[in-house]
Amino acid sequence: MMQFLKRMSKKTGLSPGSLIYVGEKKVESVKVNVIDYDEEHVLEKEVTDVHECFEFKDTETATWINISGIHDVGILEKIGDHFGIHPLVLEDVMNTHQRPKMEDFEDYVFIVLKIIRFDVEKNEINSEQVSLIVGPRFVISFQEREGDIFDPVRERIRKGKGRIRRMGPGYLAYALADSVVDNYFGLLERLGDVLEKMQLELMDAPRTETLQSIYELRRETILLRKSIWPLREVVGGLERGESSLFAESTRPFLRDLYDHTIQVIDTVETVRDMLSGMLDLYLSSVSNRMNEVMKVLTIIATIFIPVTFVAGIYGMNFENMPELRFPFGYPVALLVMLGIGIAMLVYFRKKGWI
């Protein structure tokens, strides 16, 4: 649960730029896929030796190199050498505790994104890091494990339909980032289902477990928020055209992406507000029930304590208690008790308690 606090210090004392994998190893072997395309042709292959994809670096065609699995220092170093990537960038690719960020190294742009998955069963949020290196004629994407999140993009390239084949690596990078943001909408929808279920539960019969899960969801939302907030700056930076690697014609799409990002952030904030509201509602409904319990106790106690006292009096064994010998002593005593009880009830009704 405190995962966000863990293993941060693995690298303490190392020289900066030292490559070391920081994170859980999520996949056995590294897979490298290359898609090389222009308006006319598409070439797709899975390479076993990373050298195979070096030839695409300076071709006129756009090249997308996707690397699933980022724990193999050797492969990253080779790519870094060939494509002229700064060691600190490679270090960041391997360190999965990055916040989303965008860095412009003139020759290429380095983008870190987060894919977030909501584990409905455990009510838990997991994040996975996606890094993009966008060069003039290529995009290199790094994923922690083979994922299906980029499949629609791949499909669009293969089918050759749409702008994607025409508009080069900048647009490709946009399309990949767009997939990541689209993924958040799915996540928020599933969160919405959980929220709705909780709300119904809350109205029906609030239980201690409901409270527990509201708190958990709130904690998850805090973490989610932390992952998504910096995205705003990342996409905003791209949209303001800070890098020349993104063509002017890509600008409206980046603006659209920015709008989506804002919408995601907005929704996360709304979820937070909703959760606070649900907490408040839970707490005040609990305190309402408590009040009801107290009232019942008070009513029963305050009716019976005085009449029990009356019964106690006539249970005393004094020799000289004239009432005990009155022929109607007993029924009168009963009537007195009844009277006290009714008086109490009338008082409570007047007070508005019953």
Q: Binding its own copies by CB under 8 A: which of 72, 103, 124, 146?
A: 103
Q: Measured over all CA atoms, what is the biggest interatomic distance in the chain, rounded to whole angstroms?
A: 120
Provide the 8-state DSSP code for 72: -
Q: According to the binding rule CB under 8 A, does residue 286 interact with its own copies?
A: yes
Site string for its own copies, 321-340 (x = CB under 8 A): x-xxxxxxxx--xx--x---
Q: According to the binding rule CB under 8 A, does residue 215 interact with its own copies?
A: yes
Q: According to the binding rule CB under 8 A, does residue 302 interact with its own copies?
A: yes
Minimum CB distance to its own copies, residue 61 (Å)? 20
Q: Binding its own copies by CB under 8 A: which of 120, 297, 336, 354?
A: 297
Between residues 28 and 351, which has the closer beta carbon with respect to its own copies?
Answer: 351
User: Do residues 129 and 96 make contact, with C-beta atoms less than 8 angstroms apart?
Assistant: yes
Phi, psi of 132 (to 5 degrees): -120, 135
Spatial separation of the C-alpha atoms in residues 221 and 242, rounded to whole Å: 31
3 state SS of 34: strand
Token duo for residue 10: 């693995």
Q: Binding its own copies by CB under 8 A: which of 116, 125, 195, 231?
A: 195
Q: According to the binding rule CB under 8 A, does residue 265 interact with its own copies?
A: no
Q: According to the binding rule CB under 8 A, does residue 349 interact with its own copies?
A: no
The whole-angstrom distance between residue 128's C-alpha and the CA centroid of its chain comes to 12
With contacts defined by CB under 8 A, name the span among 25-33, 53-61, 63-71, 100-108 that binds its own copies: 100-108
Q: Binding its own copies by CB under 8 A: which of 74, 145, 288, 354?
A: 288
Question: Interaction with its own copies in 155-184: which residues (CB under 8 A)?
Answer: 156, 161-164, 175, 178-179, 182-183
Minimum CB distance to its own copies, residue 48 (Å)? 29
Between residues 32 and 167, which has the closer beta carbon with respect to its own copies?
Answer: 167
Pairing of strands 31-37, 62-68: antiparallel
Question: How many other C-beta atoms can be found within 10 angstroms of the C-beta atom of residue 300?
Answer: 10
Between residues 53 and 195, which has the closer beta carbon with respect to its own copies?
Answer: 195
Site string for its own copies, 4-43 (x = CB under 8 A): xxxxxx-xxxxxxx--------------------------
3 state SS of 43: strand
Phi, psi of 261 (to 5 degrees): -60, -45
Between residues 241 and 277, which has the closer beta carbon with respect to its own copies?
Answer: 277
Axis-axis angle for helices 208-239, 251-313 (nearest 10): 160
Between residues 58 and 292, which has the closer beta carbon with respect to its own copies?
Answer: 292
User: Do residues 109 and 103 make contact, with C-beta atoms less than 8 angstroms apart?
Assistant: yes
Question: Interaction with its own copies in 124-153: which residues (CB under 8 A)?
Answer: 151-152
Between residues 45 and 240, which has the closer beta carbon with respect to its own copies?
Answer: 240
Between residues 89 and 245, which has the closer beta carbon with respect to its own copies?
Answer: 89
How many residues at the interface with its own copies, by CB under 8 A?
125
User: Do residues 10 and 20 make contact, with C-beta atoms less than 8 angstroms apart?
Assistant: yes
3 state SS of 62: strand
For residue 200, CA distances in Å to 12, 193, 215 come to 48, 11, 16
User: Do residues 52 and 34 make contact, with C-beta atoms less than 8 angstroms apart?
Assistant: yes
